[in-house]
Amino acid sequence: MQNALSWLLGGRKPAASHILLAPAALWLLFFLVIPALGLVTLSFATNGPYGTIVWTLGLHNYRRAFDPKYLPVLIRTLAFAGSTAALCLLLGYPLAYFLTFRAGRWRNALLVALMLPFWSSCLVAFYSWMIVLGKEGLINTTLLRLGFLNSPVGFLYTPFAILLGLVYFYLPFTVLPLYASLEKIPRSIIEAAYDLGADRWTAFFKVTLPLSLPGVVAGCLLTFIPCLGDFLTAELLGGPRYYLLGNLISNQFMMAQDWPFGAALTSILLSGLIAGLWLYQRWEEQA
């Protein structure tokens, strides 16, 4: 028995390595690979009566995803993901810059503080935003009392609320890669720019910004991709009028019982993700 375990742990034969990795591999197989392949297969099937699945194969589910009824959802999802990534970049870059060059001994504490809201459940944070933004919420009540408003404004269940929720939740995803790449820039290069007569802004635009480009791309991608599949933000802050791809998928499985169509939408989401990662890898190889 002990000899067998020693053989496993010693790992001089590839078989031993594969056996130790087998449990994790089985988990990935049963809860990731097979479900994903199953969804792709299902996306070519046909929805029968009462949510049954008829194996008449075809591309009709994909055609349906791009018809005028559902196309706006896809476009809206891309638009929200894109604007969230852009906003997070604009808002987050100065913060990442501050953390790298100005924060001094506060740096680690601030990095932890940046991640904390992300670790607390986003359900809870969105609930709080509902209190802030609602018709009887904090902003409306305050503005009414101060006399800036005559009647409450519906901030909640608008595209603005969705964008706010997305930016709130994904900001750390943008800032951390930005920080990581700014941190890697040798200070001597920036000082050299000053020595050669560049002012602050020239040094920033000609040296710091170009050198932080890997972080910019990684940060945007790490925000854009999860946004494509986001589900809770539009569910809680947006409401049915502004449903995104994630909500549409969820509806097909939980309410409409049209699994093949839902599977096709999920496959579209996954191909978007794979395309994004592929482009990123190609960009990285070139750089």
Partner 1 sequence: MKRGRFLASYCAALFAFLYLPLAVMFVFSFNDARRNVVWRGFTFKWYKALVQDVELMRAMWTSLELAAAAAAIAAFLGMLASYAMVRHQPFGGRSAYSALLNVPLMMPEVALGVGILSFLIRAGYELDFAALACAHALICLPYTVAAIRARLISLQESSLEEAAMDLGATEFQAFMKVTLPLAMPAIISGALLSFTVSFEDFVISFFIAGIGIVTMPIKIYSMMKFGVTPEINALSVCLVAATLLLLALNAALSLRLEDGGRR
Binding residues for partner 1 restricted to 128-167, rule: CB under 8 A: 128-132, 134, 136-138, 141
| Interacting residues with partner 1 between 80 and 139 (CB under 8 A) | 91, 94-95, 97-99, 102, 110, 112-114, 116-117, 119-132, 134, 136-138
For partner 1, the closer of residues 103 and 185 by Cβ is: 103
Least separation in angstroms between residue 16's CB and partner 1 is 7
Least separation in angstroms between residue 28's CB and partner 1 is 6
| Interacting residues with partner 1 between 168 and 227 (CB under 8 A) | 168, 171, 200, 225-226
| Interacting residues with partner 1 between 38 and 77 (CB under 8 A) | 38-39, 42
239 lies in the site for partner 1, by CB under 8 A? no
For partner 1, the closer of residues 3 and 150 by Cβ is: 3
Cβ–Cβ < 8 Å for 242, 200: no
282 lies in the site for partner 1, by CB under 8 A? no
270 lies in the site for partner 1, by CB under 8 A? yes
Least separation in angstroms between residue 176's CB and partner 1 is 13
